[in-house]
Chains A and B, each alone.
Chain A
Amino acid sequence: MLLETKNLRKSFPIESKLLRQVIGRVIAVDNASLSLNKGQVLGLVGESGSGKTTLGKIVVGLIEPDSGEIFLQDKNIKNFTRKERAKKIQMVFQDPFASLNPRLSIGTILAEAIRTREQVIGNRQQVEKIKELLNLVGMPTNILSDYPHQFSGGQRQRIGIARALAMQPEIIIADEPVSSLDVSIQAQILNLLLDLKQKFSISYIFITHDLSIVTFLADYILVMYQGNIIEEGKPEEILTKPKDKYTEKLFNSLPKITCQIL
């Protein structure tokens, strides 16, 4: 077992507008338990407000859970330092326009990640590494001094993936990594993620609202609704005989490309 979470729970305070008093709590994630094996792709499906992104952020360490535990390779995550955790779990974000610092060059962005992993590294070695990373994600290697705004959404997403790869993580949390990309680019990025999985046996937690993507990618699917995991199972099972009413509704809402493709 690579990663396991037990009964994770997170609620956010609701503040009154006037005095900023806490007048209630909204439960974002309730009692979420999941497990992820090496090389596995876990699909986390739900609509906005279902808590899927919060759950992802808890796993990656951006949000502290109120209660519950996370085990990484059977050790409690609390025993890992921030950097140790960073070397195991990385994230790919939804919006490639927001996830790269507009003031830093591509070289700086990647060098930063490399230097966090390997403290002592020569300049030439570093450049070599950056080029290797860019190669991996299918980007030209002469872009080190370019800035994010010079690239299209798909290219930026590749750079974001390269940054995550620089840490040589075992788990990548991909939070809607293609939903803000153009249709003709989505398949490229999904293929890239699959290739990397095969090459480095990376495990993914793939967070999405798009069921066609998740049934294609995932080995195992969790359906979330209002903070709860309401159904889980293999894609074929969930697709053919969903147990929960909501899951069924979710699947039926998906516009179908019904026509036969020749």
Chain B
Amino acid sequence: MWKIYWRRLKRNKLALSGLSIILFLTILAIFAPLLTPYNPLEQNLLARLSSPSKEHWFGTDDLGRDVFSRIIYGTRISLTVGFVAIGIAIIIGTIIGLISGYFAKKIDLILMRFVDIMLCFPAFFLILMVIAFLEPNIYNVMIVIGLTSWPGLARLVRGECLSIKEREFISAAKILGLSTIRILFVHILPNVLAPVLVSATLGVGSAILIESGLSFLGLGVQPPTPSWGNILTSGKDYIYLAWWLSVFPGLAILITVLAYNLLGEGLRDIFDPRTFEG
């Protein structure tokens, strides 16, 4: 099964380009210490706000720190937040969606109304409120983004689950006397995984965007730890003086989110059963 998907992935240029950018970014994040010419925290007050040059590819910021090194290290934050937050969302969303879809009736009614309420709130506003009460740091940011991103996934999983539980192989599993847990996780879950993966991939992009937004507002990753969001913040005051401080982190965000969206859209085509060729 997955072999077929892999073959189709290899032929899908959209997904492939997204995937290669993401892999490239991941390598950057992992090998950041080896790839960066400077320590991202090292200040050099003599070289404040110097424009991009041979020494400083992306220039330096107001404290003379190398922007290139800071952006590379920022990749670590962004990718980690994206993965962990969406990981949390997948776990919660899938479990709630499966339960809601499989048991239907009252449980479904209650859970789905809760999902509706969650979806009614603008997520960003909710996150802001929660972070305002908690201490703003990377862990809280990840958890809060995760806790607010699951409702869409839950609804998706529920929908899939509703149609899959009517299939005959689920009846067959019941007739074999299998436990409900086994039916849910061995028989239904693998069949909903494909759309979840698509949605989650797109979700990683938006989680990265939210994290950047929070850091930009000073509610996310705290300086001096570099994150794309807070590099942007430091650039905002010098936007006329030092364009590189805003443009490069902005580009980094753009490319990353774009890559995830490309991959997500590509995966959607790949998993589309209508184009499935057996």
| A and B interact physically | yes
B187 engages A167 (CB within 8 Å): no
Q: How far is the CB of A42 from chain B (nearest CB, A)?
A: 18
Partner of B177, one of A101, A116, A147, A160: A116
CA distance A75 to B188 in the complex (A): 34
**B175 interface residue per 8 A CB criterion:** yes
Q: How far is the CB of B77 from chain A (nearest CB, A)?
A: 35
A99 engages B168 (CB within 8 Å): yes
B168 engages A82 (CB within 8 Å): no
Say whether, besides A102-B1, A103-B1, A116-B178, A91 and B191 are in contact (CB < 8 Å): no
**A93 interface residue per 8 A CB criterion:** yes
B191 engages A102 (CB within 8 Å): yes
CA distance A87 to B178 in the complex (A): 12
Residue of chain B at shortest CB distance from A103: B190
B172 engages A163 (CB within 8 Å): yes
Partner of B169, one of A83, A100, A149: A100
0/1 interface trace, chain A 69-89, chain B, CB 8 Å (1 if under) = 000000000000111011101
Chain A residues numbered 223-241 whose CB sits less than 8 Å from any CB in chain B: none
B278 engages A149 (CB within 8 Å): yes
Q: How far is the CB of A167 from chain B (nearest CB, A)?
A: 7
**B167 interface residue per 8 A CB criterion:** yes
Residue of chain A at shortest CB distance from B187: A101
B176 engages A113 (CB within 8 Å): yes
Residue of chain A at shortest CB distance from B182: A112
Residue of chain B at shortest CB distance from A100: B169
CA distance A90 to B176 in the complex (A): 7
Residue of chain B at shortest CB distance from A95: B168
A98 engages B175 (CB within 8 Å): no
What residues of chain A lie closer than 8 Å to B174, measured between beta carbons? 61-62
Of the candidates A112, A147, A167, the one having the most CB atoms from chain B within 10 angstroms of its own CB is A112
Q: How far is the CB of A149 from chain B (nearest CB, A)?
A: 5
CA distance A85 to B169 in the complex (A): 18
Q: How far is the CB of A250 from chain B (nearest CB, A)?
A: 26
Q: How far is the CB of A241 from chain B (nearest CB, A)?
A: 37
Partner of A116, one of B171, B176, B278: B176
0/1 interface trace, chain B 157-178, chain A, CB 8 Å (1 if under) = 0000000000111011111111
A60 engages B176 (CB within 8 Å): no
A60 engages B175 (CB within 8 Å): yes
Say whether, besides A101-B187, A103-B1, A112 and B178 are in contact (CB < 8 Å): yes
B175 engages A86 (CB within 8 Å): yes
A167 engages B176 (CB within 8 Å): yes
CA distance A86 to B178 in the complex (A): 9
What residues of chain B lie closer than 8 Å to A149, measured between beta carbons? 1, 278
A82 engages B177 (CB within 8 Å): yes
A147 engages B175 (CB within 8 Å): no
What residues of chain A lie closer than 8 Å to B173, measured between beta carbons? 101, 112
16 A-B residue pairs with Cβ-Cβ distance under 8 Å, sorted by A, are A57-B171, A62-B171, A62-B174, A82-B177, A89-B175, A91-B171, A95-B168, A98-B168, A100-B169, A101-B187, A101-B190, A102-B1, A104-B190, A112-B186, A116-B177, A116-B178
With A95-B168, A100-B169 given, name 14 new contacts (CB 8 A): A61-B174, A61-B175, A89-B175, A91-B175, A98-B169, A99-B168, A99-B171, A101-B187, A101-B190, A103-B1, A103-B191, A104-B187, A112-B173, A116-B177
Binding site for B on A (CB under 8 A): 57, 60-62, 81-83, 85-87, 89-91, 93-95, 98-104, 112-113, 116, 147, 149, 160, 163, 167
List the 8 closest pairs (A to B, CB-CB), nearest first: A86-B177, A103-B190, A99-B168, A83-B177, A98-B168, A101-B169, A82-B177, A93-B168
